[in-house]
Structure 1
Amino acid sequence: MQRFTNKTVLITGGTSGMGFATARRLLDEGAYVVLTGRDKARLDAAVDRLGAVEGRVLAVAADAGSLTDTDALMRRTETWRGTLDAVFANAGVGVFKPTAEITEDDFDHVVDVNFKGVFFTVQKALRLMPQGGAVVINASWTLYRGLPVASVYSASKAAVHNLARTLGSDLAPRGIRVNSVSPGYIDTPMWRAANTDPGDEARNSAEVALGTLGHPDDIAAAVAFLASDDAAYITGQDLIVDGGLVGSVPVPVEG
């Protein structure tokens, strides 16, 4: 499929995991991709792995929680391509601690990136987006079930889930669709960093009806759909990509 031929897509937090997989998917479908990350070395490495196909990747070192960085990102995007056809607001961080141990710095860091960063990324991208553009926000399965060490993380994801619905209404007169994707347990560097016990993968997989962790490519496929014309009549929705974690009870393993 070449659903993104000559289209320009911004992907924040694209150096690894779901953002990187989405960049690779959209490049394969013909897109020009603006890729961001906070760490320039990791960003450069990601571009090397993508191969910078025919000069179709612009890498911009930017912190999603910094409005100064976001303004500079939009200026560079405008200089490079003029407009943006789609945005995947993917950059996110997690602090996973019991609620009693959360500090103000933890709170500010998570909210700055996961909520403020998403809001202003979309807001500042709007002036570059023509009629018929698309925004996809990376939310989380934790909207739907409580996770004991994820109070601030889950709340920040609930905020952007609601943002997708309200922006879906707010931007409809401009023909800009806004949806969110809610990944379940996806085997990413962030998941690995938060799950260091050797038994964590087996335990998490046992909670999933399909019996396994998801892969970043699973999310990339969902984002590509929502950002494409195949989803032209879909806005204000959340697509859960979780192998049945939220909505299905796994079959007990006989032992």
Structure 2
Amino acid sequence: MSQFHIHDTDLAPLKDRTVLLTGGSSGIGLATTQVLLSAGAYVVVGDTNPCPITHARLTFKPTNVTIWRDLLDLFALAQERHARIDHVFANAGISGRTNYLDEVFDEGTGELKEPTRAVYEINLMGMINTSYLALHYMRRQDPPGGSIVCTASGSSFQRFGVSDYTTTKHGVLGWMRGVVPNLLSENIPVRINCIGPSWTITGLVPQDLVDKAGVEWQPAEAVGRQVAYLMSDGARNGQFIYSSGGRNYEIEESVLLPAARKACGVAEVQVNEQEAFEKLKQLANEIGFNEGQKASAS
């Protein structure tokens, strides 16, 4: 069964660990910060807005995840203050900005204007750069290792009519799927998991509106506990945790991948994409084939 439950004792391994997170001043990020502090962790928060809480174990640094220098400084501060970074929550994000149906024209030329890239820069590239830096630090610290949790969404695997937002959240899940096999093949001791919250009460999703619509919701704390659980459970890697109404479901390994294999039929699908890639890569190495040779031959 894909559903699981989280108990306070499950978060005990986080005591005295250092966690860096982005977007920690509001919503799910703030709720996660509070859960981590309650579990005894040291928390380093990066956000464009000030963190509304203070705590002896909390460090805040103004950070815009679209600015590489800001991220470099945030990670450097965390290492300087705590010597290592055990877990990273790549969480900073914004809601959708365009549906690609509304047309905006330049007042001067009358030409169609390019749609905004803000959601891609924050939700996707900000997540990737945050995670890239996490991998850099975690591979080089002594002892090496750590975990990364990325904020995907229930829209990562469903149709959801907020085009740019949904695209980025599919991208978050895709990024995890692309990186985890490489970490495993290289024996790099870093775990990566994704969360996919359904409707969660934050500043972007008011409770009174959700209640009037009759939509099931969950408090931000429920998602924060989920993030902390993924950090503390060393057995979880490459998983996608979907949450709805405060219930937690692992659906990447237990639902999505098995469903794809079942839908295609065992007789029709002999290998999956990663297995095929590994076979091709091994053969290419054996015969000395590489992209440089391919380019020169053409």
TM-score by length of 2: 0.70
Letter in 2 for 1:237: Q
Where does residue 93 of structure 2 map in the other structure?
92
Where does residue 189 of structure 1 map in the other structure?
203
Letter in 2 for 1:233: A
CA drift at 1:145: 2.1
Asked which structure has the greater CA Rg, the reply is 2
CA drift at 1:3: 1.9
CA drift at 1:99: 2.4
Where does residue 225 of structure 1 map in the other structure?
229
Say which of 41, 49, 53 aligns to 1:47: 53
CA drift at 1:169: 2.0
Which deviates further from its counterpart, 98-107 or 55-64?
Answer: 98-107
Where does residue 124 of structure 1 map in the other structure?
133
| Structure 2 counterpart SS, 1:9 | strand
Cα distance in 1 between the residues matched to 2:176 and 2:79: 24
CA drift at 1:160: 0.8
1:10 aligns with 2:17: no
Where does residue 177 of structure 2 map in the other structure?
165
2:27 and 2:203 in contact (8 A); partners too: yes
In structure 2, relative to structure 1, the CA distance for the partners of 1:105 and 1:68 (3 Å cut) is farther
1:166 and 1:236 in contact (8 A); partners too: no
| Structure 2 counterpart SS, 1:76 | helix
> Size of the alignment, in residue pairs?
225
In structure 2, relative to structure 1, the CA distance for the partners of 1:161 and 1:19 (3 Å cut) is same
| Structure 1 counterpart SS, 2:204 | helix
CA drift at 1:75: 1.5
Where does residue 35 of structure 2 map in the other structure?
25
After superposition, give the CA deviation of every residue in 1:24-71 in whole Å (9 maximum; x if it has no partner): 1111111000011102xx32xx233xxx1xx21110100011111111
Which deviates further from its counterpart, 151-160 or 77-86?
Answer: 77-86
| Structure 1 counterpart SS, 2:117 | helix
1:13 and 1:90 in contact (8 A); partners too: yes
Q: Which runs of 5+ in 2 are unaligned?
A: 1-8, 105-112, 252-298
CA drift at 1:102: 7.0
Letter in 1 for 2:53: V
| Structure 1 counterpart SS, 2:158 | coil
Cα distance in 1 between the residues matched to 2:204 and 2:209: 17
Which deviates further from its counterpart, 180-189 or 156-165?
Answer: 156-165
TM-score by length of 1: 0.81
1:165 and 1:235 in contact (8 A); partners too: no
Q: Could you list the structure 1 runs, at least 4 aligned residues long, displaced by more than 4 angstroms after superposition.
A: 102-106
1:95 and 1:106 in contact (8 A); partners too: no
Cα distance in 2 between the residues matched to 1:81 and 1:111: 31
After superposition, give the CA deviation of every residue in 1:157-212 in whole Å (9 maximum; x if it has no partner): 110111122222222311111010000000101223xx9xx65433251xxxxxx3
1:168 and 1:178 in contact (8 A); partners too: yes
2:66 and 2:121 in contact (8 A); partners too: yes
Letter in 1 for 2:65: A
1:115 aligns with 2:124: yes
Cα distance in 2 between the residues matched to 1:174 and 1:5: 24
